Structure 1
């Protein structure tokens, strides 16, 4: 395996281009076209599902004499948070319902585009009590809730009929401006780094692998999903031969979390439960062996494409590879070095063999060759009585 150089300029340019494309879950066709074009330029073939999930293909380049050879998937989601028009008020302002799970606290003051069936219109998301000159201290005490914000269109709209004349309807998508900044010190601040920064890192890893023409140990499917923010994500699109699924996503850096602001984070558990023992440790060992800063963490309020794959019934090992992100689902901040480290880890993982040799078989007919998570010393008897497993099995 080779630790490959990452084209950081490519990574940053790709990220800015991804951020420039509105893609709230449900309005993702444009970003599917963009991602497909990126793969075309690298000569990576892919397939599209009906809804647009992209399943690309890096074929195995190392010899495998077995009748069956497993594949792996690396999954990143293209969709972001957003909103939808839920009502047109008598004064022509628009009420919203969120697309995805996020607080209206982060919506207040946002500049937005409202997409109608035939056009687009600009506006701002304002609290119902928006003027201190009118409402005084009440602007500071109004509740934080989606029912407490509205869209003011930048048009001659003063009643519901005016909005209707523009083609505004219930169910129109509302996309928030990301407002990205790439600072000279390497920090990147923007809405929707979740997960466009993850997508950019995966595309940069694919570029590194294809440019270097390194050997690929297992057939690899880079997968770009469209509905992670609304809970389904990788419930479809994974090939039946896949034995390992790596989700690429954010790692929140808040009080109570062990994710550090630099380096890659490998969470051992999230809200769906523990990730695979062997695959998480494979990622951690790759980081250690190749000098990539890494951290372990446990995420409490966190859903991912990897969890979606398991809930869909796929018999796969799962793990997450995360880039450190402050203020997730708000104005997020990461660092370009974190994304480069993530891309390096993904490029190493593409070159690595299966997490366990026995995964080269779809099923086993005996526990003799099944994995062991703990060694013999760890399993040795202690003062605490332990059941005789052999005796129990013979009964």
Structure 2
């Protein structure tokens, strides 16, 4: 497996702003990458990307899903002081958003920098700074332009409904740790591109036909609820593996989820994933996630008659400044290679 390619694709994807609802630049990039690899890919009406990877059994096909939409925010009001009131897109907590560099993307195509701050953010001025609960109604985006009134900010072309994109701050250390916002789930998208590269360059013909679906609304709950091709009997989400207290998974491992907040995953699929991990010699963990939902579950909720599963490289500090490891990506690839045949 070409891990340098995976790391390159990860950095490229993370550099593209793509909060849920503003994902065309990311999907344009994916369409070009699949074309470079020699696979037919197309954009769904909903905006995601589906690639046909090939394989033998077309009536027992596997639908691999990762998502390239991320957390973000949207302008809800231009305040009298020229700053922006925002609301979250997806589950980005106000505590995590504070102090982050952002980009405001207007519908006219202009882009402006800013910072998400607590209102009256100077400790030397605000005596209640430490006592203020961080919620979006006491937060604002300070625009990096010479604006001090609502009218001056509006004159820039910034308006209600504009997307606010957070800087990912991507770092890959010499020891292999990957630190960035939005590893959920661009790390998995890069892993699937790496798997597709392996299929093409090593002339692999999987036992079952494989499709890849890069979804664009997972963070708001309905990314995988449509567009499953005929013949698919199994949906396998490749998303982040949870790392935290009470769970076994670490950033160096591939996580196999047995159950999350929506319920158990298909018993046969989970059992087969565990056996495949053992055969491949992959470092893995099996966990139950207390606060989680996936594209695979969205497919079942939408009424598709499929088996479902969920795997992913371990990611710590989910929905914040996240951390994983190159070994977690490598073990995920080992599991995919063995499981899909």
TM-score (norm 1): 0.84
1:22 aligned to which of 17, 21, 39: 17
State the Cα distance separating 1:241 from its structure 2 match.
Answer: 1.4
Q: Does structure 1 residue 130 correspond to structure 2 residue 121?
A: yes
Contact 1:84 1:173 in 2 (8 A): yes
State the Cα distance separating 1:132 from its structure 2 match.
Answer: 1.0
The gaps in structure 2 that reach 5 residues or longer are none
Q: 1:96 and 1:237 mapped to 2: Cα distance?
A: 32
Q: Does structure 1 residue 293 correspond to structure 2 residue 288?
A: no
The structure 1 segments of at least 4 consecutive aligned residues displaced by more than 6 Å after TM superposition are: none
Q: 1:281-335 CA deviation, whole Å, 9 max, x = no partner?
A: 1111111011001110001110110110110111111001111111000000000
How many pairs align?
A: 340
Q: Where does 1:286-365 land on structure 2 (aligned, <5 Å)?
A: 286-351=276-341
Q: 2:70 and 2:63 mapped to 1: Cα distance?
A: 21
Q: Does structure 1 residue 59 correspond to structure 2 residue 54?
A: yes
Q: 2:105 and 2:205 mapped to 1: Cα distance?
A: 45
Q: 1:94 and 1:42 mapped to 2: Cα distance?
A: 42
Q: 2:17 and 2:283 mapped to 1: Cα distance?
A: 32
Q: What's the counterpart of residue 180 of structure 1?
A: 170
Q: What's the counterpart of residue 41 of structure 2?
A: 46
Q: 1:215 and 1:120 mapped to 2: Cα distance?
A: 45
State the Cα distance separating 1:163 from its structure 2 match.
Answer: 0.6
2:273 aligned to which of 277, 283, 307: 283
Contact 1:205 1:344 in 2 (8 A): no
Q: 2:159 and 2:251 mapped to 1: Cα distance?
A: 42
Q: What's the counterpart of residue 218 of structure 1?
A: 208
State the Cα distance separating 1:70 from its structure 2 match.
Answer: 1.9
State the Cα RMSD in Å. 1.1
Q: 1:7 and 1:60 mapped to 2: Cα distance?
A: 21
State the Cα distance separating 1:18 from its structure 2 match.
Answer: 0.3
Structure having the higher strand fraction is 2
**Which range moves more in the overlay, 149-158 or 339-348?**
339-348
Q: What's the counterpart of residue 355 of structure 1?
A: none
Contact 1:206 1:347 in 2 (8 A): no
Q: What's the counterpart of residue 111 of structure 2?
A: 120
1:99 aligned to which of 89, 102, 110: 89
TM-score (norm 2): 0.98
The gaps in structure 1 that reach 5 residues or longer are 1-5, 352-395
Q: 2:165 and 2:123 mapped to 1: Cα distance?
A: 27
- Structure with bigger gyration radius: 1
Contact 2:41 2:52 in 1 (8 A): yes
Q: What's the counterpart of residue 244 of structure 1?
A: 234
Three-state SS of the structure 2 residue aligned to 1:289 is: helix
State the Cα distance separating 1:263 from its structure 2 match.
Answer: 1.2
Q: Does structure 1 residue 167 correspond to structure 2 residue 167?
A: no
Contact 2:171 2:178 in 1 (8 A): yes
